[in-house]
Every structure is written in C-alpha cells, then in structure tokens.
Structure 1
Amino acid sequence: MKIAGIDSCPLGWIVILQDQNKFSSLAVTQFSELIALHSDLKRVFIDIPIGLSSENFCRTVESSMRKQLEKRASTIFTPACREAVYAKNYDEAREINKRVLGKSISIQSHNISKKIKEIDQFFKEKSNALEIYESHPEIDFKYLNGSKVISSKKSTKEGFQERFQLLISLAPELEELYHSITSTYPKSKVKPDDILDAMVLCLSNSKSETNNLRFIEDENHTDANGILVKIAY
C-alpha cells in the first residue's frame, strides 16, 4: 500500500512516500499535483489542520495535544476558524476570528491559512479511496520514541540530530534520502525541518500498518462540513 507523510514548505509541500517498504520523495507546489502524480496513493499523514472551527463548532483537540506534549506544548498552535482562513488579509482574519471564536489569531496561524484552505477545499472533491489524516510531528516523535516526549527544540542542532538519529535508527534508508533531498532543493524551497517532519509523518503512518491507526479525537468530533477532527499517530 502506498502511503505518505507530508509537510508544508516554502515551495509548497514536501512529500515522503513509502511503497512496498521503499522510501522516495518529491516536492510539489500544490497538493493536487501529488494526487495527479500518485493516483494509487492510499493514506496520507499531513501536518495541517483538518476540520475547522466555525460559529457552531469549536476545535478542542489542540488542548489534548498540548497535554500529550508536556513541556513541548508550545509547538501546538490554534488554527483560525474556517471563515478567517478564507479572509482576504490578516486584519480581516483577526476580526473574523474575534467575532466567531472570541479571540484573535497569531501571525503564525494566519501565515499557514493558505495551506489550510488548500486542503479544506480538496476535501470537497477527494475520493473516499484516499485516507487523509491530520498528524503532528512532535506527537509522532513521542510515540516513535517509546512514548517519551523529546524535550529538545527541533530548531537547535542537538534537537535536530536527536530526532534525525531516531528516524534513521528505525529506517536507516532515510539518511540517504534526506541528503538526496537537501542536495536537490535549496533551504529557501525546502527546509531541513520540513524534511524531518515529513519523514516522521511517513514513518508513523507506516508503523500504523502493524500497530493500527491511533487517534487523539476532538471532544466535539465533527466540524460544520462533516469532517471528523482527529489527530493520527
């Protein structure tokens, strides 16, 4: 079964694929490009919010994820509501979010709204044969690390290496793949952290073949568009 781990990057999306125990990669500017190139893709773990808050639905899953990550809870940000995601600019998005959810949104949240919107729109057309699950790299690292949170910051050399070594201890072929990606794309297009995150999502997705899918589920379950809100790991 062909699966993938996907993270956003300056170019668009960095994708780590696994098919018949072989890893490969590609970078695409649009998610739809991936689907066109890999129509046989069966299941995706992607680091992007899926299922959005609205006037009649409020995501609660961020609170559960923060509890899971303890001292690394700050890596979890709260996404904008759907109407704010579709806003024309940051000021409009802030005002909409205040009206709908009673609070503003961070610039970090707004900056990723374009990618959130892209996946939200894709859900309107996606085939039921393709499973797409929201996932989070630090949650995945935790459970690949024997359920222990990695406390170092990924932005530091130590934190990066700790995570990278964990990945290649579980799948040694990822080391060569990582270096292949970094030699193909400059950091301005695909950052090392983006590659690391896509890899851990793919590996976590792969481990689910034997351990079954596990989820952190939202207390309110389903958003206004009928999308289940849950984090796969």
Structure 2
Amino acid sequence: MIVAGADGCRTGWVVCRRDADGVLDIRVVKTLAEACEGLLILAVDMPIGFVDVPRPPRACEVEARKLLPGKASSVFPTPCRPALDGTTHAEANALSKSLGIGLPRQTFHLFPKMREVDALMRGNKALHAIVHEAHPELAFARMNGGKPVLSKKRKPEGFAERLGLLARHGFDWTPSTVSGAARDDVLDAIAVCRTALLIAEGTAKRLGAEHERDRYGLPMNIWF
C-alpha cells in the first residue's frame, strides 16, 4: 500500500510517498498527475471543489477554521468558481466582489495550482477515490492531541516542533535539501501524507458533509 501527500512548491509539487514498510520517498514533480501514479491515496494541500458564489463559503473551510483557534488564517478562503477565470488579481477580485465578496491576493497566487487540480479531477473520475483535499495545520493539530501548533513553521522552533510531531507519529525525516522545494513545503507534504495513511486505514476525519459536491460533482471536504 503506497500513499502520498503533496504540497505546492515553486517548481511544481513536493510529494512525500510512504510505502508499506513506512519508508518515505520525497521528491519534486512538475505536475500533480505524476504524483498520482501507483497510489492508493493521495492527500493534497489544495482546494478540491468550488462554490459558485463566494458566500456562504465551503462548509469544510468554516469547520477547519473553528478547529484551528489562533491558526485559522492558515485556511485560505477558496475562490468561487467564476473568479478562477480571472487572469489578474484585479479581474478575479472584481468578479468575486460582483458575486458577494472580494478575493485576497494571496489566494490569487494559488490559482495556477487550483486550476491544475481542478482540471485533473474533472478530467479523470477514477481519481475521485484516490485524491483527497487535506490541510497540513489540521494534520499537525491532530498529531498534537487536537491542539493547533501555533509556532511558525518557517522559524527554527516551529520547524523543530512539527518535525518532532511527525517523528512521534512514524514519519521520521532527517532534514535535507529537496531541490525545488522549501523545507516548510516538505514538512507540509509529509504531514498530509500521514493524512493519506489515515484515509487509507479508515481512521481519518472529514470536514464537510459527505454529499457536499460542486457543480461538477467534485467533493468539497477537507480530511485530517
């Protein structure tokens, strides 16, 4: 049984694969489609499924923020589907505003990755059983007894705290350079790889109702 977690990085996606013996393989791929090959479950830190209007937001996001007091801002607001067509922040923001609320610039910077995941999932229904949306801070909170990890992962103490949590839950990683990915991207990929394992084992938790789907039938759930 091979599971994996993926997080977007500057050169594509950093992917942590875990085999049946618990051995981790971490590498960077250009497309998420490459990361899906030979997997039972892939947990990805990127939205799957989009509402048609920005308000109300996806239920899973609202639930995620409630579970992360002090860290709720790590759950970026997912854009409504029409705004995804915007080619500039100004255009996407105007589209979103016309439907109810504006769009943060930070969210717009994730549009290329969001579009990639959306096209992949809409183009291959078989992936609906394999690819699941996850969130690293929810994963770390679960490893931390349900308490959000409030330290910043880009700071030495925050990095070390998360590294220790991963090791205690069977995902030991000796920090090393992964070409094309920042160290905190690797941490997040490993964290959601643990979520993928929990999904495969049937012990993961799901936010958002099972029947929550967007107009294309894509699930709107976050797993941890």
TM-score, length-normalised on structure 1?
Answer: 0.87
* CA deviation profile, 1:116-160 (whole Å, cap 9, x unmatched): 000000012224265111110010101112222212222322111
Look up the SS of the partner of 2:33 in the other structure. Answer: helix
Given candidates 183, 199, 215, the residue that maps to 2:206 is 215
Alignment RMSD (CA, Å): 2.0
When residues 67 and 112 of structure 1 are mapped into structure 2, their CA distance, relative to the original with a 3 A threshold, is same
* CA deviation profile, 1:79-133 (whole Å, cap 9, x unmatched): 2111211222111101111122x11111100000110000000012224265111
Distance in structure 2 (CA, Å) of the matches to 1:218 and 1:155: 33
Question: Is the counterpart of residue 232 in structure 1 residue 213 in structure 2?
Answer: no
What's 2:66 paired with?
Answer: 67
Distance in structure 2 (CA, Å) of the matches to 1:207 and 1:222: 22
What's 2:52 paired with?
Answer: 54
Question: Any unmatched runs of 5+ in structure 1?
Answer: none
Q: Tell me, yes or no, if the aligned pair for 1:85 and 1:114 is still in contact at 8 Å.
A: no
TM-score, length-normalised on structure 2?
Answer: 0.91
* CA deviation profile, 1:165-221 (whole Å, cap 9, x unmatched): 11122226x323x42xx1x41xxx211110000001112222344452320115982
Distance in structure 2 (CA, Å) of the matches to 1:19 and 1:147: 26
Question: Is the counterpart of residue 206 in structure 1 residue 207 in structure 2?
Answer: no
Distance in structure 1 (CA, Å) of the matches to 2:88 and 2:105: 11
Q: Which structure is higher in strand share? A: 1
Superposition map of 1:1-233 within 5 A = 1-21=1-21, 22-35=23-36, 38=37, 40-55=38-53, 58-100=57-99, 102-128=100-126, 130-171=129-170, 174-176=172-174, 178-179=175-176, 182=177, 184-185=178-179, 189-210=180-201, 212-217=203-208, 221-233=212-224
Distance in structure 1 (CA, Å) of the matches to 2:209 and 2:86: 25
Paired residues, what number? 221
Distance in structure 2 (CA, Å) of the matches to 1:62 and 1:28: 27
Deviation at 1:71, TM superposition (A): 1.1
Question: Any unmatched runs of 5+ in structure 2?
Answer: none
Amino acid at match of 1:41: L
Identity of aligned residues (%): 29
Distance in structure 2 (CA, Å) of the matches to 1:64 and 1:48: 16
